[in-house]
Amino acid sequence: MTLPISRTAEQIAPFRVMKILGQAKTLEAEGKDIIHMEIGEPDFPSLACVHRAAMKAAEQGLTHYTPTLGLPSLRKKLAQFYRSFYHAKVAASNIIITPGSSSALQLVLTAILNPSDQVLMADPTYPCNRQFVELLHGKVKAVPVDADTQYQLSLKLLEQHWSKEIKAVMVASPANPTGTLIEQDALHDMAQFLSERDCYLIVDEIYQGLVYDRPAESILAQRDLPDNVIVINSFSKFFGMTGWRLGWTVAPTHLVDVLDRLGQNLYLSAPTPSQYGALAVLEEDALTELEQRRQIFQQRRDRLHSAMQQAGFNLKTLPQGAFYLYWDISQWSRDSEQFCADLLQATGVAITPGTDFGSSQGNHYVRLAYTSERIEEAVERIQAFVRTLHA
Ligand SMILES: Cc1ncc(COP(=O)(O)O)c(C=O)c1O
């Protein structure tokens, strides 16, 4: 007899990028040369100052739980960071440190959703958001978006799709999988529209900092921001600390107590050595190094974009941030999973099928992450591969 698992858990979709990663690793172990463009994390290791600070904390015996809301010194330092980096006035008391922004997203959704409440989000979007909502027995309202709105939600789309069952809207700027932004004034209008309808706006700024041709911006820098805005961020991407599992949320004051109680029950506190490491990554010298890495990502974005264009591939947007390019492959395939599997097998280039990010056009798109230096070589291999397919 097989022991049962819950109906909710049974319905959780896999993260398909992990399947591609697994296949790529297997081929690599067999000796095949693989170019990894599937993984959504910087290829650089975390900074040496992070390692030193975390080691020092551990050697000093600072390995116990911290307060659930996070180390007071880290919350304070992040508030200063908002002031100097984003010109935003944020109180340390509104900053809650979490084990990765994944936990921040779950914490926040748990705090605001009742069963059957709807959460509106774009299709394509970061896949785990759909699962978080469904785990809470909420309902996802996915709104297909395309190049016309830079693959982002807009006030017009909110007006079109509005219903009173919607309790929260989730956006990410820059977004995964498209790397596109929402302009700050547009975000403000969306926040205002939703505030008048007692609905939250969750703004995922995890890729802020990794923004190109323009300064990084946080919605928290806006004046007269309504108190329905919840910001999510992380030390994973811009700060290059994915494995340290550290993120945060900036929540309106009325949510801090409930988020504290939820965190106390769900994980007690975020990893302590990681919090000490994060204190170091917010220092001036570290930020200078991170800026150099940002410039490398910008050069890679430009290289990838121009190599794709030279190969004759039609790109509908120029990504403005993060490290992703979302590419329409419908000219060659209407089955992005098969396309990625065949491409990997034939050429060793690992990329992610669009089906991870949405159902509306997911089969027509793939995501390329420029988290590898071997960009031109990858595009040459892709070009040779598509020549073998019927246009
Ligand atoms: C848009 C977005 N939000 C949140 C996360 C979660 O990241 P972490 O838990 O490492 O902070 C990711 C990870 O790829 C992401 O792309």
- Binning pLDDT at 50, 70 and 90, where does residue 391 land? low
What mean pLDDT value characterizes the chain? 96
| CA 172 to ligand 1: nearest atom | 1
User: Where does a domain end: 283, 316, 350?
Assistant: 283
Same domain, 66 and 78: yes
- Shortest-distance Cα residue to atom 2 of ligand 1: 126
Nearest residue by C-alpha to atom 13 in ligand 1: 40
Residue 2: inside a domain: no
Plot region of 225 (φ>0 → left; ψ -120 to 50 → alpha; else → beta): beta
Q: Give the distance (Å) from ligand 1 centre to CA of residue 208.
A: 12
Residues 232 and 308 both lie in one domain: no
- Are both 103 and 188 inside the same structural domain? yes
Distance 102 CA to ligand 1 centre (A): 6
2: pLDDT strictly greater than 90 = no
| C-alpha 242 – ligand 1 centre gap (Å) | 9
Q: Provide the H-helix boundaries in 244-283.
A: 253-266, 272-281
Residue among 18, 96, 126, 233 to mutate when testing ligand 1 (max atoms within 8 A of CB): 126
* 253-266 and 100-112 helices, crossing angle to 10°: 120
**Domain stop point among 232, 252, 283:** 283
- The pLDDT tens digits of the residues spanning 316-368 come to 899 999 999 999 999 999 999 999 999 999 999 999 999 999 999 999 999 99
391: in domain = no
Residues 297 and 206 both lie in one domain: no
Asked whether residue 1 is domain-assigned, the answer is no
For residue 18, what pLDDT is reported? 86
Q: Tell me, yes or no, whether 361 and 378 share the same domain.
A: yes
Nearest to 200 by CA among 181, 170, 228, 221: 228
Atom of ligand 1 nearest to the CA of 99: 9
pLDDT tens digits, residue range 288-315?
999 999 999 999 999 999 999 999 998 9
Neighbour order of strands in the sheet with 352-353: 324-328, 365-369, 352-353
Q: Note the pLDDT tens digit of each residue in 5-59.
A: 999 999 888 888 888 999 999 999 999 999 999 989 999 999 999 999 999 999 9
One domain for residues 100 and 236: yes
Structural contact between residues 115 and 349, judged by C-beta atoms closer than 8 angstroms: no
**Nearest atom in ligand 1 to 207's CA:** 1
Same domain, 273 and 306: no
Q: Which domain holds residue 351?
A: 7-45+287-385
The Cα 254–Cα 269 span in angstroms is: 20
**How would DSSP label each residue in 150-215?**
TTS--HHHHHHH--TTEEEEEEESS-TTT-----HHHHHHHHHHHHTTT-EEEEE-TTTT-B-SS-
67 and 183 within one domain? yes
**Do residues 181 and 87 share a domain?**
yes
227 and 328 part of one domain:
no
Provide the domain count of the chain. Answer: 2
What pLDDT does 123 receive? Answer: 98
pLDDT at 237 over 80: yes
- Token pair recorded at residue 111: 């705090």
Is 80 exceeded by the pLDDT of residue 264? yes
Q: What is the pLDDT of residues 45-67, one digit of tens each?
A: 999 999 999 999 999 999 999 99
Picking from 283, 315, 338, the residue at the C-terminal end of a domain is: 283
β-strand partners of 202:
170, 230
Residues 187 and 254 in one domain: yes
Query: Within a domain: residue 191?
Result: yes
Is 128 in a helix, a strand, or coil? Answer: helix
Q: What percent of the chain has pLDDT over 70?
A: 99
Ligand 1 test: best mutation among 133, 237, 249, 371, most atoms within 8 Å of CB?
A: 237
- Where does ligand 1 bind, in terms of residues with CB under 6 Å? 40, 100-102, 126, 172, 176, 204, 206, 234, 236, 242, 247
Residue 245 in this model has a pLDDT that exceeds 90: yes
Task: State the average pLDDT over residues 132-153.
Answer: 96
User: Residue 378 domain-assigned?
Assistant: yes
Exposed / middle / buried, residue 48 (Cβ in 10 Å: 0-12, 13-18, 19+): exposed
Residue 103 within any structural domain of the chain: yes
CA of 101 to the centre of ligand 1 (A): 6
> What's the gap between Cα 292 and its chain centre?
21
Q: Return d(Cα 67, Cα 38) in angstroms, integer.
A: 36
Domain shared by 81 and 197, yes or no: yes
Q: Give residue 355's region: left, alpha or beta (phi > 0; psi -120 to 50).
A: alpha
Read off the pLDDT of each residue in 186-200 and give the average, rounded to a whole number.
98
Q: What is the arithmetic mean of pLDDT over 357-385? A: 96
Ligand 1 atom nearest to CA at 234: 11
Q: Which residue shows structure tokens 């990329």?
A: 351
- Amino acid found at 372: S
Res 19: pLDDT: 85
CATH code: domain of residue 295: 3.90.1150.10
CA distances from 348 to 34, 113, 352 (A): 4, 43, 13
- pLDDT attached to residue 13: 86
User: What values do phi and psi take at 211, rounded to 5?
Assistant: -125, 140
**pLDDT tens per residue across span 90-138:** 999 999 999 999 999 999 999 999 999 999 999 999 999 999 999 999 9
Tell me which of 236, 238, 246 to substitute to probe ligand 1's pocket, judged by most ligand atoms within 8 Å of the beta carbon: 236
CB under 8 Å to 294, separation ≥6 — which residues?
209, 210, 212, 238
276 CA distance to ligand 1 middle (Å)? 21
CATH number at residue 52: 3.40.640.10
Which band of pLDDT confidence, cut at 50, 70 and 90, is reported for residue 220?
very high
Distances (CA, A) of 15 to 41, 127, 206, 298: 15, 7, 19, 27
The mean pLDDT value for 200-209 works out to 98
pLDDT on residue 15: 83
